[in-house]
């Protein structure tokens, strides 16, 4: 059996999935996760973040990520999976985070002692002991500076796929250069979390893929390469410090002698790593345009493949490179489960009661609408939260339950229009995707078939599938993406089909919702 290993180094922990392929059949033979705080308490993280005084700052430790990978490899070995058949490894990582290495990294990586864990050996190669991560929001000034230097946020979004965002790597690098110019000058290479971990496995500097490169505000989306104007605006001499950008299926190298000796592993291919969102695209089976995924979790997200790099003119959506080539659109909503829970609790319901209440109200709520902004919203941008109702009684349980679900689906459909993709099929993931009443509203609003996906960690699975894809290509036996996902990413039986009449009704309601939203945002004056 040929094995492919996918890692996912996320905010709070690391996961691994081993895919076994025999003939043309592929299946998961190993799956496990560990939490950074529990597995490596000596780093002192809380939920994967180092404690600090400033709530806008979020940093973690690259050495922790390295040691966690090591622990995970040990636990795969201990599980009895025979890794001698390992052909390739790829990975997924939290996006935007950055790792700062000095010039010693090359020699240190090449001469690591297999008797010792990686973290302590790498420590002297860091020019910055901590890595800012995606939860950091301390760079508003640098965002404004970067946007101004390239002709404004619309110009930045048109070229890189996103307006300037605090968590994106370009503004983060700029802040580091401004605050710690000496440490910046001593930095030889700036990696993303993804390319840092690929570098560690290959024992030599690995490239960044376009999926994660597009999370920096520095990459020219359509060329899949750095945009010199943004790179120059971010910090001096930055072009010399950034790794190359290479297609997602590039083989960065083979597993270094360190890992081979330490865990008894073969000289497997190391494919370039990518961000967790691009990897999820593959792990959710979105390998053609027209398929979208909706993830209903703490926050709700909609994403899908786009052949062309269309950009959200309102500045809330993102375009990332897709691991299949092409692009992916992604829009995130902060009032996801949280908003559903607030309405559930308002009426003293459990989830079964929530479903019954949803079914008890008429689809469309007789034109009644609700804006579900219990906390500040990302899409559309709402800084001062507060729910609003139109034509809905505040004490009518079923109408409010339906109101929040319809608002979320109408908002998702409205704010993903910029992708200009007619979604015919939606794969639903995340906690609330178990609720078929909610998914029926999704199907009716989008006019698309909705299928529940049972995959637990689509980013990690996507990484394992990417390892197989990259390896097949490198061996001169390329496999198309349909073949890669077939039999591994299969939705559960029982798709929810849209009702034509209700879909037409929701098309009208969406216009009313858009107007209600615009009024609340002050875009249309009352
Ligand atoms: C995407 C983002 C998050 C992280 C989480 O822009 O910031 O989804 O990738 O790991």
Confidence of residue 405 (pLDDT cuts 50, 70, 90): very high
The chain-wide mean pLDDT, for the chain, equals 96
Q: 219-220 and 189-192 as β-strands: parallel, antiparallel, unpaired?
A: unpaired
Q: What pLDDT sits at residue 358?
A: 97
| pLDDT, average across residues 449-469 | 95
Q: Locate the ligand 1 atom nearest the alpha carbon of residue 95 and give its number.
A: 9
Residues making up the chain, counted from first to last: 526
Task: Take atom 5 of ligand 1 and give the residue whose Cα is closest.
Answer: 94
409-422 pLDDT, tens digit per residue, is 999 999 999 999 99
**CA 303 to CA 305: how far, in whole Å?**
7
**Residue 131: strand pairing partners:** 60
- Lowest-pLDDT range of 319-328, 335-344, 398-407, 517-526: 517-526
Q: How far is CA 244 from CA 176, 225, 323, in A?
A: 21, 8, 16
The single residue listed with the structure tokens 């995340």 is: 430
Q: Counting Cβ atoms within 10 Å, is residue 420 exposed (0-12), middle (13-18) or buried (19+)?
A: exposed
Domain 2-278: give its CATH code: 3.30.420.40
H or E element that contains 438 = helix 436-446
pLDDT band for 24, please (50, 70, 90 cuts).
confident
Strand partners, 226: 219
First to last CA, the chain: 66
pLDDT on residue 25: 93
From 277, 334, 458, mutation site for ligand 1 pocket: most ligand atoms within 8 A of C-beta: 277
How distant, in Å, are the alpha carbons of 350, 393, 399, 439 from that of 347? 9, 13, 11, 21
**What span, in angstroms and rounded, lies between the C-alpha atoms of 312 and 418?**
5
Which H helix or E strand runs over 60? strand 59-60
Q: Which of 49, 94, 211 to mutate to test the pocket of ligand 1 (most atoms within 8 A of CB)?
A: 94
Structure confidence at residue 106 (pLDDT)? 98
Judge if the beta carbon of residue 94 lies within 6 A of ligand 1.
yes
Ligand 1 atom with the shortest distance to the CA of 165: 6
% pLDDT > 90, the chain: 95
Q: Which regions of the chain carry the CATH code 3.30.420.40? A: 2-278, 286-454+496-526
CB 416 within 8 A of CB 294: no
Burial class (CB in 10 A: 0-12, 13-18, 19+), 109: buried
Residue 347 is predicted with a pLDDT of 98
| Distance (Å, whole) CA 367 – CA 84 | 62
Instruction: Scan for tokens 């559960």, then name that residue.
Output: 492
Q: Is the CB of 277 under 6 A from ligand 1?
A: yes
| Alpha carbon distance 182, 185 (integer Å) | 5
Mean pLDDT value of segment 352-372: 97
- Tokens encoding 393: 């009684």
Does the Cβ of 168 fall within 6 Å of ligand 1?
no
Specify the residue with its C-alpha closest to ligand 1, atom 9.
95
Quick one: DSSP state of residue 315?
Answer: S
In the chain, count H helices and then E strands.
20, 21
The predicted model gives 270-297 an average pLDDT of 96
Using CA positions, which residue lies closest to atom 7 of ligand 1?
134
Between 141-150, 157-166, 262-271, 380-389, the lowest mean confidence (pLDDT) is in 380-389
E strand intervals along 219-267:
219-220, 225-226, 251-254
Ligand 1: centre distance to CA 400 (Å): 31
> How high is the pLDDT of residue 97?
98
Domain 286-454+496-526 belongs to what topology?
A: Nucleotidyltransferase; domain 5 (3.30.420)
pLDDT at residue number 160: 97
pLDDT of residue 243: 98
| Cβ–ligand 1 contact at 134 (below 6 Å) | yes
**Which tokens is 198 given?**
């690929």
- When pLDDT is averaged across residues 15-35 and rounded to a whole number, the result is 96
CA 24 – ligand 1 centroid, Å: 33
pTM of the predicted model, to two decimals? 0.95
CA distances from 73 to 30, 68, 251, 273 (A): 12, 9, 20, 17
Instruction: Indicate the DSSP class of residue 31.
Output: E
3-state secondary structure at position 91: strand
Q: Mean pLDDT throughout 130-146?
A: 96
Atom of ligand 1 nearest to the CA of 215: 6
Which of 293, 266, 109 lies closest to 201 in space, CA to CA?
Answer: 109
**Which pLDDT belongs to residue 455?**
87
The answer, yes or no, to whether residue 525 has pLDDT greater than 90, is no
Torsion sign over Cα 96, 101, 106, 107? negative
What does the pLDDT average to over 266-283?
97
Between 94 and 315, the higher pLDDT residue: 94
Percent with pLDDT over 70 in the chain? 100
Q: Which residues contact 489 (CB under 8 A, 6 or more apart)?
A: 283, 284, 285, 453, 455, 458, 461, 465
Return the residue whose CA atom lies nearest to atom 1 of ligand 1. 95
Q: Which of 7, 166, 167, 463 to mutate to test the pocket of ligand 1 (most atoms within 8 A of CB)?
A: 167
The whole-number average pLDDT for the span 275-295 is 96
**For residue 94, how far is its CA from the centre of ligand 1 (angstroms)?**
6
Q: What distance in Å separates the CA atoms of residue 281 and residue 345, rounded to the nearest whole number?
A: 33
Rounded CA-CA distance 524/526 in Å is: 7
Mean pLDDT along residues 81-95 = 96
Condensed to tens digits (0 to 9), the pLDDT of residues 243-259 reads: 999 999 999 999 999 99
The ligand 1 atom nearest the CA atom of 11: 10
Give tens-digit pLDDT for 109-133. Answer: 999 999 999 999 999 999 999 999 9
d(CA 400, CA 237): 55
pLDDT of residue 298: 86
Confidence category of residue 151, pLDDT binned at 50, 70, 90: very high
526 pLDDT band, cuts 50/70/90, is: low
């Amino acid at each position: 059996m040929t094995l492919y290993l996918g890692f996912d180094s996320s905010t709070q922990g690391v996961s691994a999935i081993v895919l076994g392929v025999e003939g043309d059949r592929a299946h998961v033979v190993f799956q496990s996760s560990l939490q950074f705080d529990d597995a490596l308490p000596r780093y002192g993280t809380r939920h994967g973040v180092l404690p600090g005084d400033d709530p806008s700052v979020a940093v973690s430790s690259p050495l922790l990520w390295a040691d966690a990978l090591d622990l995970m490899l040990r636990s795969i070995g201990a599980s009895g999976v025979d890794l001698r058949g390992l052909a390739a490894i790829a990975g997924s990582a939290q996006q935007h985070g950055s790792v700062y290495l000095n010039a010693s990294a090359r020699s240190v990586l090449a001469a690591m002692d297999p008797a010792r864990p990686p973290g302590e050996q790498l420590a002297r190669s860091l020019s910055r002991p901590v890595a800012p991560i995606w939860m950091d929001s301390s760079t508003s000034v640098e965002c404004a500076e970067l946007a101004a230097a390239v002709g404004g946020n619309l110009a930045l979004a048109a070229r890189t796929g996103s307006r300037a965002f605090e968590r994106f790597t370009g503004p983060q690098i700029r802040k580091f250069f401004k605050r710690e110019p000496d440490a910046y000058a001593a930095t030889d290479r700036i990696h993303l979390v993804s390319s840092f971990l690929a570098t560690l496995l290959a024992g030599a500097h690995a490239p960044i893929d376009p999926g994660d490169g597009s999370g920096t505000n520095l990459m020219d989306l359509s060329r899949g390469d750095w945009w010199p104007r943004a790179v120059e605006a971010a910090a001096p001499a930055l072009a010399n410090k950034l790794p190359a950008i290479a297609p997602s299926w590039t083989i960065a190298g083979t597993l270094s002698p360190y890992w081979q000796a330490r865990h008894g592993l073969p000289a497997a291919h190391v494919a370039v790593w990518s961000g967790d969102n691009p990897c999820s695209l593959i792990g959710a089976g979105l390998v053609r345009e027209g398929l979208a995924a909706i993830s209903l979790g703490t926050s709700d997200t909609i994403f899908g493949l786009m052949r062309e790099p269309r950009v959200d003119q309102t500045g809330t959506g993102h375009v990332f490179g897709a691991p299949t080539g092409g692009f992916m659109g992604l829009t995130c909503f902060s009032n996801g489960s949280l908003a559903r829970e607030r309405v559930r609790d308002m009426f003293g319901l459990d989830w079964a009661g929530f479903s019954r209440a949803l079914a008890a109200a008429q689809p469309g709520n007789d034109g009644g609408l609700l804006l579900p902004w219990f906390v500040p919203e990302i899409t559309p941008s709402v800084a001062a939260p507060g729910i609003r109702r139109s034509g809905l009684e505040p004490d009518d349980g079923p109408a409010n339950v339906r109101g929040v679900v319809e608002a979320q689906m109408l908002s998702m459909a409205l704010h993903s229009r910029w992708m200009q993709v007619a979604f015919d099929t939606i794969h639903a993931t995340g906690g609330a995707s178990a609720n078929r009443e909610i998914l029926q509203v999704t199907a009716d609003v989008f006019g698309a078939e909705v299928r529940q996906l049972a995959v637990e960690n689509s980013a990690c699975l996507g990484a394992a599938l990417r390892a197989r894809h990259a390896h097949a290509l490198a061996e001169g036996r390329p496999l198309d993406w349909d073949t890669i996902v077939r039999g591994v990413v299969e939705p559960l039986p029982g798709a929810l089909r849209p009702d034509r009449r209700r879909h037409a009704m929701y098309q009208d309601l969406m216009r009313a919702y858009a107007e209600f939203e615009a009024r609340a945002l002050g875009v249309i004056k009352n």
